[in-house]
Amino acid sequence: MEKTTNRWAVAIAGVIMQLLLGTVYGWSVFKTPLMEAHGWSGIQVGMAFTIAIFCLGTAAALGGKFVDKAGARKVATCAALLFGLGTLLAGYANSISNLWLLWLGYGVIAGIGNGLGYITPIAVLIRWFPDKKGLITGLAVMGFGFGSALIGQIVPLILPAVGLTNTFYVLGIIFLAILGLAAQFLNNPPSGWTLPAAATNAQAKAPVAIKSLGLKDAVGTYQFYLLWLVLFINVTAGIALISNLSPMAQGQLGVTAVAAGTIIFISSLFNGLGRLFWASLSDKIGRKNVFLTILITQVPLFFLLPQVTNLWVFSAMCCYILSCYGGGFATMPSFAVDTFGPKNIGNIYGKILFAWGLAGVVGPMLMEYIKSISNNFSMALIIASALLVLGAVLISFYKKPELAAG
């Protein structure tokens, strides 16, 4: 296939890739079936998700350099193969009741594939859409947020019909086919490519980075570590809730697994829509102001959520929290470009995304540990609210580096 020169075709392929990769966030729908089928504990089953997110963040941290050097199509194709294969292995692990293979397949292999696939559309689309950085990254990762909505609604319906093993097999085949096809449309703009006239006029009115920093120079600034920490905090809080949303809803509200899947579906829609909303808003009021709003407004919700027993109030709070969770992911790429410039953004933002990998360990394990010693999630969510306060304080100190100032 020849390289795509239509930037909206690249954008559509990127959204499709993110949609399927985002199904990882629906892991909680597999949690109870796996525990009941094999007698595994919540911590043991949750470890598959924890490993997947850690490997996702680590692969994204390393994969950004490959996108910059080797090309987006190759990295995206590799991502499709790994994510599909890892999901198939999860099905086989279930069929032979092998927990270690589940961790290897879904955690390590699919997690690495997910990370390589996640960073690729972001790094590519920022280059195709320098005139709409916030909007396009929000649109791309909106797909990732919708992925959990897709899986949270579908799996509870098909699992009773085909069984857990075959559910993993069906998903694995779908991932291999559709991700592999979407990957062929992802490539960086060709040499000499220029924006359409209308987009060029719009970009001329926007602030432009004077200089793009390399990775070495970027990590020498305090802004790199500040952005890293703020992303880590927002992800830790959000993923703590996401990783246990289904069992938490069932236990706290007394609803069925299907009803809990519906809560996951609706809140995941807000995860996706929040990515587009907050990223687009950041184009208007600034990345710093958006992050301040995201962090501060979540604090009372995390503090009060463990006491809520009303289905509608619980769902509304989860919807807003997930919109902020997704909004942080969607706004941070543009924040990084504004700070360090676009030239090496794949490599630089990849390193910032390592915060996601670590948060994917801290958030879920915090929830599991607190649950194991107190039989509820209350203290873990209160700790998350305190972390969000810290994040708001940190981001208030942000100033754009002089070398990358617009």
Distance CA 224, CA 211 (A): 16
Residue 13 and residue 167 in contact, taking contact as beta carbons nearer than 8 Å: no
Please list the pLDDT of the chain residue by residue as tens digits (406 residues): 566 678 888 889 998 999 999 898 778 789 889 999 999 988 899 889 889 988 988 888 887 777 767 778 889 999 999 999 999 999 999 999 999 999 999 999 999 999 999 888 887 887 788 777 777 877 877 888 788 777 877 887 888 889 999 999 999 999 999 999 999 998 878 777 677 655 554 444 444 444 778 878 888 899 999 999 999 999 999 988 877 787 788 888 888 877 887 888 788 789 888 888 998 898 889 999 999 999 999 999 998 988 888 999 999 999 999 999 989 988 998 898 888 887 777 788 888 988 887 887 888 787 777 777 777 777 888 888 999 999 999 999 998 887 544 4
Q: Are the C-beta atoms of 228 and 359 separated by less than 8 Å? A: no
> Which is nearest to 286 in space by CA: 331, 229, 343, 340?
331
Both tokens assigned to 315:
């769902």
What pLDDT shows up at residue 296?
Answer: 96
What is the DSSP secondary-structure string of 228-286?
HHHHHHHHHHHHHHHTTHHHHHHHHH---HHHHHHHHHHHHHHHHHHHHHHHHHHHHH-
In this prediction, residue 2 carries a pLDDT of: 60
- The answer for residues whose C-beta is within 8 angstroms of residue 129's C-beta and 6 or more apart is 7, 11, 135, 136
CA-based end-to-end distance of the chain: 38
Q: Which pLDDT does position 205 carry in this prediction?
A: 47
Rounded to whole angstroms, the Cα distance separating 244 from 239 reads 9
Residue 289 has what pLDDT? Answer: 95
pLDDT of residue 235: 93
Second CATH level (architecture) for the domain 7-188+211-401: Up-down Bundle (1.20)
pLDDT in tens, 128-177: 887 777 778 778 778 887 887 778 778 878 888 899 999 999 999 999 99
The full set of domain ranges for the chain reads 7-188+211-401
pLDDT tens digits along 78-99: 999 999 999 999 999 999 999 9
Give the per-residue pLDDT at 198: 52
Asked whether 341 and 209 are in contact (CB, 8 A), the reply is yes
- Is 338 in contact with 330 (CB distance < 8 Å)? no
pLDDT of residue 123: 79
pLDDT at residue 403, as a whole number: 56
Give me the pLDDT at residue 26, please. Answer: 79
| Residue 325 confidence (pLDDT) | 92
Q: What is the pTM of this model?
A: 0.76
Average pLDDT, the chain: 85
